Amino acid sequence: MSTVAVIGGGIMGRGIAAALTAAGHRLTVVEPNVEVSLDGVVVTADLDSALVDADLVIEAVPEEMAVKLPVWTRMGEIAPLSAFLASNTSALDIDALAALVPRPERVLGTHWFNPAQVVPCVEIVRGAATSDDSITWVHELLSGAGKLPVLVRNSPGFVGNRIQFALVREALLCYEEGLASADDIDAIVSSSFGPRLAVLGPLTNADLGGLDTYRSILEYLSSQLGERFSIPDVLERLVEEGRHGVKSGAGISSYDPERAAELIAYRDTTLRRVIAAIGTKQTP
């Protein structure tokens, strides 16, 4: 059992606290509005008392660097030098936060996804100074809480939000251009490639679909819609090398016939279960 302080009792802070409390950790949430109620969690407006004995501090204040910087300065002044310090930032620079505290090797990002108490993935963001010990300790804590921690490098938006916001941006453009209603755009995604992505992710799906096909489609989209659909160099290289995906035995990954058959069977079986669970009706 570890002692964890979460700074910020908003949507994300409450979800993080709920997930870690359910895993048996001692939680304190620092929130000016002390009327916020969380089962099994101490809520306080007193930052000093919350951090003084913490093994891990997770900052979950609003996603603005101007708001986070003074909080991190105070974290560096109050938290024990042995405490690991994490930010739940969705996109901001971990190194800029680490520069504000003593022993920056204990600083890292823990990017939870909303709703934090439900979604398995947490991106662990390694900063320039982050130590292996910090990564290992936080990885073990998250795994023990039933999460799927995934290590990524510090970069704007990390991985999840670079992909997610590219999709949201394109969906908004489709809506702006009047290609379909908002409800129908959501229905298209949630009943087509959305469930498929939940099963295997974009890169394995690309290998299954054929990288040569993806390249051809991107070439056409780029000619019609511009630079945002330009073909990545890595895709050009793979296609030139004859690595077209599962059908050629290699693409982004390699596939022998047995692995290819198992992958396709897993995709189809799991996809049917996902679709059966979510149904095909539009949301209320």
- Distance between CA atoms of residues 31 and 6, nearest Å: 9
The pLDDT value recorded for residue 278 is 84
Fold designation for 180-278: N-(1-d-carboxylethyl)-l-norvaline Dehydrogenase; domain 2 (1.10.1040)
Domain-wise residue ranges, the chain: 3-153, 180-278
Describe the strand order of the beta sheet including 56-59 as a list of residue ranges.
Answer: 42-44, 26-30, 3-7, 56-59, 84-87, 107-112, 121-126, 148-153
Summarised one tens digit per residue, pLDDT across range 67-86 is 999 999 999 999 999 999 99
In this prediction, residues 131-137 reach a mean pLDDT of 98
Q: Long-range CB contacts (< 8 A, 24+ apart) of 194-203?
A: 195/271, 195/274, 195/275, 195/278, 196/267, 196/271, 198/274, 199/266, 199/267, 199/270, 199/271, 199/274, 200/263, 200/267, 202/163, 203/252, 203/253
Of the pLDDT bands very low, low, confident and very high (cuts 50, 70, 90), residue 191 is very high
Which pLDDT band holds residue 1 (cuts at 50, 70, 90)? confident
pLDDT reading at 36 higher than 80? no
What's the pTM? Answer: 0.91
Average pLDDT, the chain: 95
pLDDT grade, residue 283 (50/70/90)?
low
Q: What is the pLDDT of residue 71?
A: 96
Q: Taking the domain 3-153, which CATH number applies? A: 3.40.50.720
Res 282 pLDDT > 70: no
Helix/strand/coil percentages in the chain, nearest 5: 50, 15, 35
Position 280 confidence tier, pLDDT thresholds 50, 70, 90: low
Share of the chain above pLDDT 70, in %: 97
